[in-house]
């Protein structure tokens, strides 16, 4: 791990004990599962319908799964089942994050769905937001799925560092690369790439670079007025309709 990774890349929040099932109004099922190396991880499974698509959600670099509950409610409302999990070091999950182990954690989540719950891969849609887009991209290289949704994504940590620090090679001090752009040419499954056009953390041009690197079939959806963290709020009904149309098309 690079000397700056824990300052620049990973910003986990600890767990807060509350009755999240009651507060969210969702049928949250608590799930404990193992990463590939045996690390104990925690997630929530929300089933909409036994035959619906399952979104396997790789979240961004900050907070934990609690911060995604509002978004999960909307996904559940449009008929999606969701499995969201915390990487190690986030929320209730054990261990400490690094690029390599985040990939292992996502593999463990996929294995949980296909082996423990016996869900066929053709019902699984991978969803990655921000840093999670790179995690979902690596997962798509290694495991089968019906489709891949990348939101607020970036080509690599180096590309983001160059944008924010005026070309200074800050990424040389980071161990993490999260080079999504190297994985996209290998992926033949359908892809939906979503980006807010007012994103000042990962600018729209970096999202377009992700799209250009991807193999068809691929679709780009820009959300007018949305920044990095409010895509689903600003996008509103049109955003969720686009998600539903894509998922319906790949199942």
Q: Hey, which residues are catalytic here?
A: 130, 199, 228
Nearest-angstrom CA–CA distance, 216 and 167:
31
Judge contact between 33 and 108, C-beta under 8 A. yes
Nearest-angstrom CA–CA distance, 153 and 222:
12
In the three-class reduction of DSSP (H, G, I as helix; E, B as strand; rest coil), residue 56 is classed as strand
Who contacts 146 (Cβ-Cβ below 8 Å, separation ≥6)? 53, 121, 122, 123, 124, 125, 189, 190, 247, 250, 251
Q: List alpha helices for the chain, DSSP H.
A: 5-8, 20-24, 69-77, 99-111, 131-142, 157-164, 180-183, 204-213, 231-250
């Amino acid at each position: 791990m690079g000397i700056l990774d824990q300052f620049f890349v990973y910003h986990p929040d600890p767990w807060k004990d509350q009755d999240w099932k009651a507060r969210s109004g969702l049928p949250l099922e608590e799930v404990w599962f193992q990463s590939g190396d045996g690390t104990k991880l925690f997630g929530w499974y929300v089933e909409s319908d036994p035959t619906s698509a399952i979104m396997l959600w790789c979240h961004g670099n900050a907070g934990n799964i609690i911060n995604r509950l509002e978004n999960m409610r909307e996904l559940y409302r449009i008929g999606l089942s969701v499995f969201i999990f915390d990487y190690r070091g986030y929320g209730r999950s054990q261990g400490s994050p690094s690029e390599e182990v985040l990939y292992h954690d996502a593999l463990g989540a996929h294995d949980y769905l296909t082996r423990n719950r016996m869900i066929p891969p053709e019902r699984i849609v991978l969803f990655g937001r921000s840093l999670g887009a790179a995690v979902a991209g690596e997962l798509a290289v290694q495991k089968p799925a019906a489709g891949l949704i990348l939101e607020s994504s970036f080509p690599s940590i180096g590309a983001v560092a160059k944008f924010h620090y005026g070309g200074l090679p800050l990424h040389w001090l980071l161990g993490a690369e999260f080079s999504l752009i190297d994985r996209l040419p290998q992926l033949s499954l359908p892809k939906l790439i979503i980006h807010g056009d007012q994103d000042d953390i990962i600018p729209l041009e970096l999202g377009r670079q992700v799209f250009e690197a991807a193999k068809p079939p691929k679709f780009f959806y820009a959300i007018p007025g949305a920044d990095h963290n409010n895509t689903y709020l600003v996008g509103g009904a049109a955003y969720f309709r686009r998600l539903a149309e894509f998922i319906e098309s790949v199942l």
